[in-house]
Amino acid sequence: MVNIKINNIACQAPEGSTILEAARMAGIKIPTLCYLKEINAIGACRICVVEVKGARSLVASCVHPISEGMEIFTNSPTVLESRKMTLQLLLSTHDRKCLSCVRSGKCELQTLCHELGVDDEIAYEGENPEFEIDTSSIHMYRDNNKCINCRRCVAACEKTQGIGVIGANERGFATFIGSPFDMGLAETACVSCGQCIAVCPTGALAENDNTAEVWEALSDPEKVVIVQTAPAVRASLGEAFGYDIGTNVEGKMVAALRRLGFDKVFDTNFGADLTIMEEANEFLERFQGGGTLPMITSCSPGWVRFCEAYFPNLIPNLSSCKSPQQMFGAVTKTYYAEKMGIDPENIVTVSVMPCTAKKFELCRDGQCAVPDIQDVDISITTRELARMIDKAGLMFKELPNEGYDNPLGNYTGAGAIFGATGGVMEAALRTAVEKLTGETLKKLDFEEVRGTKGIKTASYTIDGTTIKIAVASGLANARKLLEKVSSGEEKYHFIEIMACEGGCVNGGGQIIQPADVRNNIDLRAERAKVLYNIDSASKIRKSHENPDIIELYNNYLGKPGSHRAHEILHTCYCESHLYK
């Protein structure tokens, strides 16, 4: 431990800590804009500067290590004036249309201006560059007029995801964040994961808002508008309405969706259970019949797009299953439409997802169980749903807790854990092992695949046969794993990959938390607890025991892997999808 003083108060911190970390341990929050723990400690924004006794100038606390006897001042007049001046300089080239900005009220730049007394008056006049908004992508837009060059998005893209399709272009005052040669984002190998949006402190990056399409459908008396909610949405939505991180708001979310006007409120968890039925069957067919191994999950569209762009040699290894979102939409437009006597053309399916890549996925080829009719019509993020609830004047905390509609609202614990890294693997193993052995599992928790570690591996001996599995989340971790698989260094039978670290609970469409929260609370773990708690409390925890799934197969699909199941629930993946 190192002895230091912060604002004349003696304290200690572990050797190797930065001033920022030591201050946090002492109960003092130093503001930051560019800093992100582990991926973006660059001292560039100068908001976190502090005074150190004996130093010639202010130092950036996020990169400056502590030393024995150091005396630090975090809120002296010099420090506060420096931070205020930095904010004024940032605002001198910033588009200050705050009222119309999607991040107004939740913008870290705006919050700091309030805290440090920076008003609307322009303190520094001068050249103000103007940028054309990049709207080329299906899933998001980029407005460099609101960018502060903090490089958080660059770090998330390059270090967390291992992609690096954006970076700093030009130099000095002309510096801006963009793609190589200033290409539109859609022209790059961007995988639509949205992690850049999740870490942006301002409104420079945001998902394309599709709520107007939803409102239009809800107001059309000729349409039957059906909504499905992904498992991870209930673990994050409450954060937009003042709930603690890690609060399950499923009941109030369902109530809100009904009051928004949806005709039926269903759960993507049903689609997750259905995915397990097909995916477990596909794995057993490959494993027992000499098919292409390792089989790799295809639930995460960001991961699938990454595979198509960077590991085309492994496309044959992808499961042919559609994602739970798409399977649910396909069943809605076929089985449910027939059962209820509704023309599929009159059904509008809306998905609420923790993922921006879902906006891209629904437009892919091979996603039409009914010819020329998309399985899912509109996909909105958790954030977009929160905005709809606000717009409708619903007092979220005052709503009752309500349950999903039947039959596509019933799900098992296995379907719920899909939203956490390792959840798909665990759910698949519960079904595959019982199908392989013909015996009932005594222990359903495959704890080796749980947790937020980037790469997890395990081996299971089942009926005398050893099955090697791997789980990766975050595409940089996926790259490390797949390079070993491609080279032959590692051999597995079954691999689960999620594009976002921690899985869908940390998706690019989830409620955005400021850097101070992201740096000090493990959002992935706290939100994942919601899903594992649902699983442990569920009466039915195996997908193949969901009574409505059983009825679907008995009365419509036949059996997992049947010709009809393939027509409705499966697709293909290939390089040609990359830029569509």
Domains of the chain as residue ranges with CATH: 2-75 (3.10.20.740), 98-207 (3.30.70.20), 212-577 (3.40.50.1780)
The helix (run of H) or strand (run of E) holding residue 2 is strand 2-6
User: Is residue 1 over pLDDT 80?
Assistant: yes
- Helical pair 268-289 and 423-437, crossing angle rounded to 10 deg: 50
Distance CA 221, CA 217 (A): 8
> Model pTM?
0.95
Instruction: List pLDDT tens digits, range 54-80.
Output: 999 999 999 999 999 999 999 999 999
User: Is residue 245 over pLDDT 70?
Assistant: yes
Beta strand 465-473 with 167-169 is unpaired
Instruction: List pLDDT tens digits, range 170-216.
Output: 999 999 999 999 899 999 999 999 999 999 999 999 999 999 999 99
The helix (run of H) or strand (run of E) holding residue 204 is none
Residue 228 neighbours by CB distance under 10 Å: 30
The three state secondary structure string of 395-448 is CHHHCCCCCCCCCCCCCCHHHHHHHCCCHHHHHHHHHHHHHHHCCCCCCCCCHH
Instruction: List pLDDT tens digits, range 361-419.
Output: 999 999 999 999 999 999 999 999 999 999 999 999 999 999 999 999 999 999 999 99
pLDDT at residue number 575 = 64
